[in-house]
Amino acid sequence: MIEVVLAGFLGSLGEFLQPSNLASVFVDGLSKAALYVMIASGLTLIFGLMGVLNFAHGSMTMIGAYLGGLLMVLMVGQASGPGARLLAFFVALAVTFAVLAGIGGVVEVGLIRRLYDRPPVYQILLTFGLTLVLDELVRIAVLFYGMQPTSDWQAALATKPGFLDSSVDLGLVSVPGLDLFEIAFGAATVVGLWAFLTRTRYGLIIRAGSEDAEMTEALGIDVRRVFTVVFALGAGVAGAAGTLLMWDASWAASVPLAADTLLPAFVVVIIGGLGTFRGTVVAAVIVGMTDAVMTWWFQNVVEFTGLPEMTIFLILVIMLILKPQGLFGVEEVGGH
């Protein structure tokens, strides 16, 4: 009996290790990592500077998906060519980023700012309550227009240019065009945020404020205004992530997207070491790769498709046991 299982396992392992399979799992992992980094980096920036765990982050991604989808549906017709669709996507992306950044700024100034001096549970309750309100508002709006809030928005999915649905031949493997698009998108976001944080004076101030807000303030810097800017930036990135997910059939615009993105985002942020951008990028790659490997095994060997999602929580548990402060975390972050 054991021999049979073992032989089966070794056979599967041999198949998994075939270069073409490894390569396609690798690309799949990268595209998943790109999505994880998109949904988590806004969360980590906000936590790093303000110590606020923004439970409304997933809702902002979800609103970004609907808003991006709405703009796409309005701009793209049956006859639109792939170039026009791609152009429309970047317009939708810019608008979504700006709108969500505006919402983030208003939320910070109007609500969260009053609670910085209180224990963290106040901010958690506030942002959690905000999530309930935002999700319900979107649900009402979606129902009003005669759509199902819990199922994927097909009309938005259909605005994708055809070439993202077809596969691209990379020699060893052929890869879904959308995967490559997501990888490029995630990489551009990481490079952009990294350059902003390390190459600009504003980024320097954010990093200083993340470590010691009081000392930064005493150097003559208006840290409160920096808080607003970073909250807006984090919300804007969440919205941009939503616009990207709106095209991906395994996510897509729907109200449950809020919770579906919030949990993995938290996992990635915690594994990376709360509030460090570098840690979040590395954690997203680890989680993305593990997810891709597990997806292959559970689709090709053990047919149980619910399990890959569980494995990312398994990584979290292992991380919390081995290194509770996360990969790049320091003992105390977010204090001020």
- Residues within the interface to other proteins (CB under 8 A): 201, 204-205, 207-208, 211-212, 214-224, 330
Distances (CA, A) of 305 to 5, 257, 316: 20, 19, 20
Nearer to other proteins, 166 or 198 (CB): 198
- For 72, the token pair is 């796409």
Least distance to other proteins, CB of residue 323, Å: 18
Least distance to other proteins, CB of residue 206, Å: 10
Query: CB under 8 Å to 117, separation ≥6 — which residues?
Result: none
Nearer to other proteins, 115 or 172 (CB): 115
Nearer to other proteins, 314 or 330 (CB): 330
The whole-angstrom separation of Cα 193 and Cα 42 is: 10
Least distance to other proteins, CB of residue 212, Å: 6
Least distance to other proteins, CB of residue 224, Å: 8
Nearer to other proteins, 151 or 198 (CB): 198
Report the SS3 class of residue 174. Answer: strand
The whole-angstrom separation of Cα 241 and Cα 65 is: 8
Least distance to other proteins, CB of residue 227, Å: 12
Nearer to other proteins, 59 or 216 (CB): 216
The whole-angstrom separation of Cα 102 and Cα 96 is: 10
- CA angle in degrees (0–180, nearest 5) for 23-276-238: 75
The whole-angstrom separation of Cα 265 and Cα 64 is: 15
Least distance to other proteins, CB of residue 202, Å: 11
φ/ψ of 112, rounded to 5, equals -70, -35
Question: What sign for the dihedral angle of Cα 279, 105, 189, 86?
Answer: positive
Nearer to other proteins, 58 or 209 (CB): 209
- DSSP tag of 288: H
Least distance to other proteins, CB of residue 220, Å: 4
Distance from chain centroid for Cα 190: 12
Nearer to other proteins, 23 or 208 (CB): 208
Distance from chain centroid for Cα 266: 10
